[in-house]
Amino acid sequence: MSVGIVSGFHLNLNDNTSRWRKNYNLIRCCNSRRNWKKAATQKNYYELLGVSADSSAQEIKEAYRKLQKRYHPDVAGQKGHELTLKLNKAYEVLMEKERRRKYDESIGQMRVRFAENGTLLGYSTWNGPLRPRALFVDENACIGCRECVHHARNTFIMDEAVGSARVKVQYGDANQKIEVSVESCPVNCIYWVETEELAALEFLIQPQPKEGYGVFGGGWERPKNVFTAAKSLNQQLKRQAETGNNQRTGGDFEETSAQAEARANASMKMKMGSVLKIWNWVKDTFGMNANQG
Amino acid sequence: MAEPAYTVASDSETTGEEKSSSTFPEIAIGVDIGTSQCSVAVWNGSQVELLKNTRNQKMMKSYVTFKDDIPSGGISSLLSHDHEMLSGSTIFNMKRLIGRVDTDPVVHASKNLPFLVQTLDIGVRPFIAALVNNVWRSTTPEEVLAIFLVELRAMAEAQLKRPIRNVVLTIPVSFSRFQLTRIERACAMAGLRVLRLMPEPTAIALLYGQQQQQTSHENMGSGSEKIALIFNMGAGYADVAVTATAGGVSQIKALAGNTIGGEDLLQNMMRYLLPESESLFESHGVKEIESMALLRVATQDAIRKLSSETSVQVDVDLGNGLKICKVVGRNEFEQVNRKVFEKCESLIIQCLQDAKVEVEDVNDVIIVGGCSFIPKVKNIVSSIFKGKQLYEGMNPLEAAVRGAAVEGAVASGISDPFGNLDLLTIQATPLAIGIQADGKSFVPVIPRNTTIPARKDLVFTTIHDNQREALIIVYEGEGDKVEENHLLGYFKIMGIPAAPKGVPEINVCMDIDAGNVLRVLAGVVMPGSRQPANRVMEVRMPTVDDGHGWCAEALHRAYGSTLDMVTVQKKA
């Protein structure tokens, strides 16, 4: 009897075949690792918006607006409600840097963004203008003591998953606080680096999935010496730029915008089908008049 | 609508001018009922057209005069002078009073209007009455609005030569959902169906989106995103919105609103000119009402003149030997209303912060509404935006109603061959919605400025062992304590399985659809179980009716904390 309500209630409408699993989700909601579990069972936000995982905020915004214009209830009627809810959710998460990063981690997407000119986008943001020197934590050496986070909380954060500190905002605190935090590191793993090198360093220090062979290997790895690795990566990028070979190395495949749109439309139609089914059921059962303003 | 159509006899027949209109029968009209003025507009197939009354006015005064039991509004009746309007039989400023209880400071501030507004401070609706033949005839804001809407409807029907049923109304950002239900009720009494209630600045945002679409005939989704700040200050309310527009899609990034407007400027000025005015007029006799009215009219004139002149001579005989003869400078006016202007400033700044937009990122600054003519208001805005040129191309008094008319056409599913209606406004919630938990705390489930449609949920739990019931009290607002917010309704979840405190998981989910309808769902799940322990309750809010001001208090007296809940986890 309460199937319709339950599925509406649990936010998951994309697969109405396994309703017991949905209830299972709800129970996990109170779990501390809620975000991980939830994300794993839901449709990928990138798929929903029909964009690739390394798309920029601008691309996401445009895709979002395009889809809204087609499926917003003002245009598509009440049947667009569920889909628009999901679009809003996806947009909300992907438009915020920190939340997007967490989401990417949770779905196992490593977002490697090579900008047009062949430079890498790093992790940290800048408070104020770009300066010639930047802070960088060698996470291979970091012991996770939290001293730096304690002294300059706006600059460093603790990555609980990896167990090491990281620079979140360059110059996020007053200079003096930053000095103190650098001094306080018991293993001296906080470095002042050239700003040009920062992006490559920050990219390389993120653990990368390691290819496995049968039962051997697998897992995650990062270069032993991140500084030499960054130098060679930078050189490589420079060579690429010179030869005009600016291909993205992050994505597995390239999609033309027409292809992406077609794919998005197709998946949308499938989802709309299931949404409609539930909606009609709810309407029939409860006689809800959804169009009443 | 459940309410029966309520029609009020209107003494004068409105005969519209002959005009061939090519409108489709089902297009909703846009209506802007302001605190002091109102207007109606409709999409005529190619553009927005403002409807005029028989006296060829596009802007009509929002008031209803009660005479010999036959009320008539400002649409059809002709008043010789403002003074007649202020004879005690005319009710106005209803937009400030609708849906408010008599403990509301806004109601208290309305006590020196030239009709009766009486409060008992017990949380019921205030006593509002007009003086008709020396007898107080009581009325309600809903009734006054309904009378008014009937006349607007008759006017529109006569001109468009078709029955009017659907309307898009503009409303202030700061209206609570309870106030929206009162507006809906007034419309129902007038036989109108509300298609959309649009916060005023979002109607202007839609119009702005259309203008941008028309000027740049680029394909949609192209990178030309424009960010606009809209400041709308009328007689009763001040509203701000930040909107991002691209390809005809206007995304409302943040909304902010407050009950400050021209009426506050007027009252502060009246108090300045005649400090003892409130005590003088307290008895509400015929003479006092007349004096009050004269002072009001004279002050209003003075304020208007101060928009173009730097000083003005106020010369008015209030009767009873009271005379005011004073020269008032613009700087005095600005000084007297310093607090109001400061509030305007902070409202704009707050909205920018909520939208996470820097002053430099704003492409266009739009200021509209009656108060946009005041030099100080312009100064405030241009100083925030560092002297940026204000957006031109919008009539400050017509922008909201034009936007409402465009939305009327869009929401009615009308398409335009030139793509002029290829528009969409993505709305946001102006106020947070949540429930009472953790004692008397307000725990928001849907935060302010969430894009709608929206659906969010939070998990709560019981505070007593074997607690079988829990009370869900829904509030709307920004205060940390529930008392600071608007009560929307309450219901009980029953049949919670017996368990130690903190074990049952009470999931409260809120859903707002594109029509701004709020549904609250609540269900209980026991750990280890895979389905709700009881039937999930779904309630459409608001549920409260008049007299709700004391509901929360009564609930607390009756139940104490026996049915309380606490949050299980705050959102990370």
| Probe site for chain A from B183, B184, B517 (most A CB atoms < 10 A) | B517
Tokens of A87: 């679009």
Contact B247 A58 (CB under 8 A): no
In a domain, A269, yes or no: yes
> What pLDDT does residue A120 have?
54
What's A80's DSSP letter?
G
> What pLDDT does residue B293 have?
86
Residue written as token pair 């943040």 = B254
Instruction: Identify all chain A residues contacting B193, using CB atoms and an 8 Å cutoff.
Output: 293
Q: Do A14 and A96 share a domain, yes or no?
A: yes
| B335/chain A closest Cα distance in angstroms | 38
What's the Rg (C-alpha) of chain B? Answer: 25
Dist CA B424 CA B77 (whole Å)? 38
Dist CA B399 CA B41 (whole Å)? 10
Q: Do A219 and A177 share a domain, yes or no?
A: yes
Q: Do A101 and A138 share a domain, yes or no?
A: no
Q: In whole angstroms, how far apart are CA B216 and each of A222, B144, B422?
A: 49, 43, 13
| Probe site for chain B from A84, A157, A288 (most B CB atoms < 10 A) | A84
In a domain, A217, yes or no: yes
Q: Which residue of A24, A62, A85 is in closest CB contact with B221?
A: A62
Which architecture, in CATH terms, is B262-336?
Alpha-Beta Complex (3.90)
Nearest chain A alpha carbon to B459: A30
What number is the average pLDDT over the span A107-123?
Answer: 51
Residue in B435, B551, B409 with CA at minimum distance from that of residue B493: B435
Question: Across the beta sheet with B116-118, what order do the strands follow?
Answer: B116-118, B127-132, B135-139
ipTM: 0.80
The answer to whether the Cα torsion of A221, A225, A231, A232 is positive or negative is negative
Contact B459 A29 (CB under 8 A): yes
Contact A293 B505 (CB under 8 A): no
Q: Which residue of B194, B249, B530 is in closest CB contact with A293?
A: B194
Q: Do A157 and A47 share a domain, yes or no?
A: no
In a domain, A119, yes or no: no
Please state the domain count of chain A: 2
Q: In whole angstroms, how far apart are CA B45 and each of A265, B58, B188, B249, B401?
A: 31, 19, 27, 21, 16
Nearest chain A alpha carbon to B196: A293
Q: Do A258 and A220 share a domain, yes or no?
A: no
> What pLDDT does residue A280 have?
56
pLDDT digits (tens, 9 = 90+) for A23-40: 333 333 333 333 433 433
Q: Do A198 and A227 share a domain, yes or no?
A: yes
In a domain, A248, yes or no: no
Q: Which residue of B197, B248, B536 is in closest CB contact with A9?
A: B536
Q: Do A132 and A238 share a domain, yes or no?
A: yes
Q: In whole angstroms, how far apart are CA A238 and each of A115, A120, A195, A222?
A: 13, 11, 16, 22
What number is the average pLDDT over the span A199-228?
Answer: 70
Instruction: Identify all chain A residues contacting B527, using CB atoms and an 8 Å cutoff.
Output: 27, 30
Distance, CA of B445 to chain centre? 23
> What pLDDT does residue B120 have?
87
User: In terms of residue numbers, what domain contains A65?
Assistant: 3-112+253-286
Tokens of B567: 């949050």
| Probe site for chain A from B361, B516, B536, B570 (most A CB atoms < 10 A) | B536
> What pLDDT does residue A288 have?
43
- Interchain CB contacts (distance < 8 Å): A and B: 118
What number is the average pLDDT over the span A260-279?
Answer: 56
Q: Parse chain B into domains and list their residue ranges.
A: 262-336, 432-567
Tell me the H-state helices in B4-88.
82-85
Dist CA B48 CA A202 (whole Å)? 55
> What pLDDT does residue B562 have?
84
Number of H helices, E strands in chain A: 13, 10
CATH of domain B432-567: 2.60.34.10
Instruction: Identify all chain A residues contacting B194, using CB atoms and an 8 Å cutoff.
Output: 293
Mean pLDDT score across all residues of chain B: 86
Instruction: Identify all chain B residues contacting A285, using CB atoms and an 8 Å cutoff.
Output: none
Q: Do A14 and A80 share a domain, yes or no?
A: yes
Percentage of chain B modeled with pLDDT above 90: 53
| Probe site for chain A from B530, B566, B569 (most A CB atoms < 10 A) | B530
| A293/chain B closest Cα distance in angstroms | 5
Q: Do A265 and A190 share a domain, yes or no?
A: no
Nearest chain A alpha carbon to B567: A30
Q: Which of helix, strand or coil describes residue A178?
A: helix
Contact B249 A68 (CB under 8 A): yes
Contact A84 B514 (CB under 8 A): yes
Contacts for B429 with CB less than 8 Å, ≥ 6 apart: B255, B446, B447, B448, B449, B450, B452, B454, B512
CATH number at residue A143: 3.30.70.20
What number is the average pLDDT over the span A111-116?
Answer: 43
Instruction: Identify all chain B residues contacting A33, using CB atoms and an 8 Å cutoff.
Output: none
A111-115, B45-49, B238-242, B475-479: range with lowest mean pLDDT? A111-115
Contact B521 A9 (CB under 8 A): yes
In a domain, A183, yes or no: yes
Task: Tell me which residues of chain A have a C-beta less than 8 Å from any C-beta of chain B.
Answer: 2, 5-6, 8-9, 11, 20, 23-24, 26-27, 29-30, 35, 58, 61-62, 65-66, 68-69, 72-75, 78, 80-81, 84-85, 88, 91-92, 290-293
For every residue of B158-219, DSSP letters joined together read: HHHTS---EEEEEE-TT--HHHHHHHHHHHHHTT-EEEEEEEHHHHHHHHHHHHHHHH--PP
| B221/chain A closest Cα distance in angstroms | 5
Dist CA B291 CA B12 (whole Å)? 30
> What pLDDT does residue B565 have?
87
Task: Categorize the per-residue pLDDT at A70 as very low, low, confident or very high, splitting at 50, 70 and 90.
Answer: confident
Q: Do A48 and A69 share a domain, yes or no?
A: yes
Q: Do A71 and A168 share a domain, yes or no?
A: no
What is the number of residues in chain A?
A: 293
Nearest chain A alpha carbon to B520: A9
For residue B162, pLDDT beyond 70: yes
For residue B22, pLDDT beyond 60: no
pLDDT digits (tens, 9 = 90+) for B77-115: 555 556 566 678 888 899 999 999 888 899 998 888 889
Dist CA A222 CA A200 (whole Å)? 13
Neighbour-count burial of A37, counting CB atoms closer than 10 A to its CB (0-12 exposed, 13-18 middle, 19+ buried): middle
Q: Which residue of A29, A88, A91 is in closest CB contact with B453?
A: A88
CATH number at residue A47: 1.10.287.110
Q: Which residue of A65, A88, A290 is in closest CB contact with B249?
A: A65
Percentage of chain A modeled with pLDDT above 90: 2
> What pLDDT does residue B257 have?
94
- Tell me the residue type at B417: P
Which residues lie across from B486 on neighbouring strands? Answer: B476
Contact A66 B221 (CB under 8 A): yes
For residue A217, pLDDT beyond 80: no
Contact B531 A73 (CB under 8 A): no
For every residue of B236-257, DSSP letters joined together read: S-EEEEEEEEETTEEEEEEEEE
Q: Which residue of B196, B221, B535 is in closest CB contact with A293?
A: B196
> What pLDDT does residue B427 have?
93
A126-135, B192-201, B460-469: range with lowest mean pLDDT? A126-135
> What pLDDT does residue A210 have?
61
- Contact at 8 Å (CB) between B172 and B236? yes
Q: Do A231 and A132 share a domain, yes or no?
A: yes
Which residues lie across from B138 on neighbouring strands? Answer: B129
Strands A208-209, B37-43: pairing is unpaired
Mean pLDDT score across all residues of chain A: 68
